[in-house]
Amino acid sequence: MVANDIILTDDAADQLAAESAGHYDRMQVQLFKPAIRLADINPRSFKELSKEEFAGKMAYLTHYLHTRSNGASKYYEQEATEFVKQLLGPDVAENPTEVKQAFDALESEVMNVPFPTPKTARFKFIDLFAGIGGFRLAYQNLGGKCVFTSEWHPSSQQTYAANFGEVPFGDITRISETAIPDHDVLLAGFPCQPFSIAGVSKKTSLGREHGFKDETQGTLFFDVARIIDHKRPKAFMLENVKNLVSHDKKNTFRVICETLEELRYSIHYRVLDGKHFVPQHRERILIIGFDRDRYEGKEPFEFPELPRPTAVLEDILEKDVPAKYTLTNNLWKYLQDYAAKHKAAGNGFGFGLTPLDGIARTLSARYYKDGSEILIPQAPGENPRRLTPRECARLQGFPDSFMIPVADTPAYRQFGNSVVVPLMQVVGREVVKCL
């Protein structure tokens, strides 16, 4: 199909035809026009699919494009190939050359993102409850290659794809552990949920054996546990809110630790504060585990000594901020009245007017509502303002090259739910040393 094995762009073909008039016929030169572009693949062309089903096909396709050169590709190849053939149409779908060219073109596109998957890697990891990819960014920086991602929220999937070129799979509860590639490290920032002990007590009274499948069933931690149980990664790193330790009268944390130990992993945990890297007081518990069958409990892991906090709020502020981020008179009056009311009642509730040379309170997913926990003082006579989404990204340690393709409200939710990237990276470095 290609004359003299030449594959040219439109401009090059035009130039060649002009320079070689009399020697080449313009129709003899095949133009290389990618048959499929990512931007042209949209759910409107697949009306028979639900949004979730279409997102699933995009997840298979993009995961395959990121893993074509390694063994993880076998988990995605069949679904991805069927999808691409469907996109190409029946006239060319059975032509292996056309299919390969389509994959080549699409792979080039998914790698043209701010944080592409490294071509070579020291280890493989998976990213569960991935959010917008804070964990992934940290572990890619450490030389890792992500081979599976799961995140259920569509707007978070959009931000993740814009930065990493990969659409996460959706609801992890509906994904079999057998469908997940082998990996060295499992990463997860799972939600904090109470465990029911009723079923366990009943089994005990009946003299039946019980284990993590009984105690954790119905929670998202169960999905973390079943994947660890089946895939046996060398290590895992879990992140959660500080209060996990005391949640549900300490029962939640007890069940988690007992479950992980039942799965034959040695456990290390510590509450760490993001203020050592960013101007934000953000305490989170990190739970690190290593396969006892492999390490026999002798892994040389230690939590790192964190640097002295030096970052202040002014370091992350933008210079020219649109007026829309300044609080309206009504909202500012409401927040002041609300704070005064609770102060009179002896409560500590109220807004947080953060000094520019200080550090902020914890950024939360509710920041989009009124921004009250972190307000920025402005010139005398001006109302304070909210942080911008870019400032929220910086407050979590994301570089300015991180794209924010969504509107402000979902952006605030996403960064409020994220991890402090440099903190994850410095702890992750100690994990990677043990692999």
- State which of 262-271, 346-355, 369-378 shows the largest mean pLDDT: 262-271
Q: How far apart are CA 372 and CA 389, in angstroms?
A: 15
Looking at residue 224, what is its pLDDT?
Answer: 94
Tell me the pLDDT of the chain averaged across its residues: 87
Looking at residue 214, what is its pLDDT?
Answer: 53
Between 88 and 184, the more confident residue is 184
Cβ(43)–Cβ(51) below 8 Å: yes
Digit-coded pLDDT (tens) for 277-318? 999 999 999 999 999 999 999 999 999 999 999 999 999 999
Between 203 and 51, the more confident residue is 51
Question: pLDDT band for position 238 (50/70/90)?
Answer: very high
Looking at residue 139, what is its pLDDT?
Answer: 98
Question: Does the pLDDT of residue 6 top 60, yes or no?
Answer: no
β-pair partners for 337: none
SS3 track for the chain: CCHHHCCECHHHHHHHHHHCCCCCCHHHCCECCCCCCHHHCCHHHCCCCCHHHHHHHHHHHHHHHHHCCCHHHHHCHHHHHHHHHHHHCCCCCCCHHHHHHHHHHHHHHHCCCCCCCCCCCCEEEEEECCCCCHHHHHHHHCCEEEEEEECCCHHHHHHHHHHHCCCCECCHHHCCHHHCCCCCEEEECCCCCCCCCHHHHHHHHCCCCCCHHHHCCCCHHHHHHHHHHHHCCCEEEEEEEHHHHCCCCCHHHHHHHHHHHHCCEEEEEEEEEHHHCCCECCEEEEEEEEEHHHHCCCCCCCCCCCCCCCCCHHHHCCCCCCHHHECCHHHHHHHHHHHHHHHHCCCCCCCCECCCCCCECCCCCCHHHHCCCCEECCCCCCCCECCCHHHHHHHCCCCCCCCCCCCHHHHHHHHHCCCCHHHHHHHHHHHHHCC
Looking at residue 215, what is its pLDDT?
Answer: 57
> Which domains are delineated in the chain?
115-308+420-433 (3.40.50.150), 313-416 (3.90.120.10)
**Tokens 């439109």 -> residue:** 10
Q: How far apart are CA 227 and CA 187, in angstroms?
A: 11
pLDDT average, residue stretch 176-186: 97
Q: Which of 13-22, 94-103, 162-171 has the lowest mean pLDDT?
A: 13-22
Question: pLDDT band for position 172 (50/70/90)?
Answer: very high
Digit-coded pLDDT (tens) for 390-426? 999 999 999 999 999 999 999 999 999 999 999 999 9
Q: Would residue 257 show up in a list of annotated catalytic residues for this protein?
A: no
Q: Residue 56 corresponds to which tokens in the numbers above? A: 């699933």
Q: Which residues, including other chains, have CB under 8 Å from residue 251's CB and lie 6 or more apart?
A: 194, 195, 197
Q: Which of 108-117, 187-196, 203-212, 379-388 has the lowest mean pLDDT?
A: 203-212
Which residue out of 146, 192, 257, 434 is catalytically annotated?
192
β-pair partners for 273: 283
Percentage of the chain with pLDDT > 90?
Answer: 69
Question: pLDDT band for position 349 (50/70/90)?
Answer: low
Cα torsion 377, 382, 386, 392: sign: negative
Between 220 and 213, the more confident residue is 220
Question: pLDDT band for position 23 (50/70/90)?
Answer: very low
Looking at residue 193, what is its pLDDT?
Answer: 60
- State which of 24-33, 151-160, 207-216 shows the largest mean pLDDT: 151-160
